[in-house]
Homo-oligomer: A and B are copies of this chain.
Amino acid sequence: MTYCVAMRLDAGLVFLADSRTNAGVDQIGTFRKMNVFENPGDRTMVLMTAGNLSISQSVLQLLHDHVGLNGFTIWTAPNMYEATRIVGEAVRAIHQREAQALAQFNIEFNVSIIFGGQIRGEACRLFQVYSAGNFIEARDENTYLQIGEAKYGKPIIDRVVTPRSSLDDAVKCALISMDSTLRSNISVGLPLDLLAYQADSLAVTRFVTIDEKNAYFQMLRGTWGEQLRRVFEGIDAPQWQAMPGADDQPVRMPLPEAVAPVAAPPMLQSLAQQHGDPRQ
């Protein structure tokens, strides 16, 4: 499995990828899923992949070999939209080449790609490319994209990230989102590739590989978990009586006459006095 997340902010772009691949839990490996296309001063683009590793590596090979579209390659495309079309075309070329043979082994042609960056002359842009080679672009109302094991880490992003967030805040949130995913899915694993791109720099601004020894990530995980528990403890207990519908009844299956009601044990009666007997 994989978890990759990218965020498009006014301040720039943030990309975070784990590095675990597995074919069943008995075959786990480490593969970098983040790849950078950088021509400093002209363009900086980041591509992250999830899905079938043989497919995503073949797509990368085509891009490495300068697959083109309308006479452009990824290095010469005039804007990010055209560059993303080239990525989509590479996916379609591999589909044409591989899908039938894979299907004979009931292997789905499954690849998903996050591709984003900036080409001189336009703003930062962020795209997600699907197995069919079609793609969508992140916009203000949905400023981040995820591929792979996306669900565990989604709620925290929805709560804190907006296009106005700073690069550092987005990095913080991406790492917390990754932490929640790491805890819940062992097929997502360290090390992490983290890249922060400052708008208009047209070069990689910040990159770091994060492993178990990374003190900042350790602090973040520890502090976040501990503070979360503190907030949890700080919230009032349910005020049952105050709730509208406190007298609601659940959907009960009818008690058959064949089964005579049993006299309530004393313990239940005391509970009934204490809480009000829910059977009335």
Which residues of A pack against B, CB within 8 Å? 32, 34-42, 46, 60, 63-64, 66, 73, 75-76, 120, 151-152, 154-156, 158-160, 168-169, 171-173, 175-176, 180, 183-184, 193, 195, 198, 200-211, 213-216, 219-220, 223-225, 227-229, 231-232, 234-240, 242-246, 248-256, 258-259, 261-265, 267-268, 271-272, 275, 277-279
Contact = CB atoms under 8 A, between A and B. Distances in A.
A231 B224 contact: yes
A138 B232 CA distance: 23
Given A151-B184, A250-B34, A227 B219 contact: no
B152 A250 contact: no
Nearest to A37: B253
Given A180-B155, A205-B278, A172 B231 contact: no
A139 B245 CA distance: 32
A184 to B, nearest CB: 5
Contacts of A210: 243, 245
A256 B46 CA distance: 17
Nearest to A156: B228
Contacts of A152: 151-152, 154-155
9 contacts: A41-B261, A41-B265, A42-B259, A120-B265, A193-B251, A205-B278, A206-B278, A208-B240, A211-B245
Contact of A264 (B40, B205, B239, B255): B40
A96 B34 CA distance: 48
Nearest to A198: B271
A35 B250 CA distance: 7
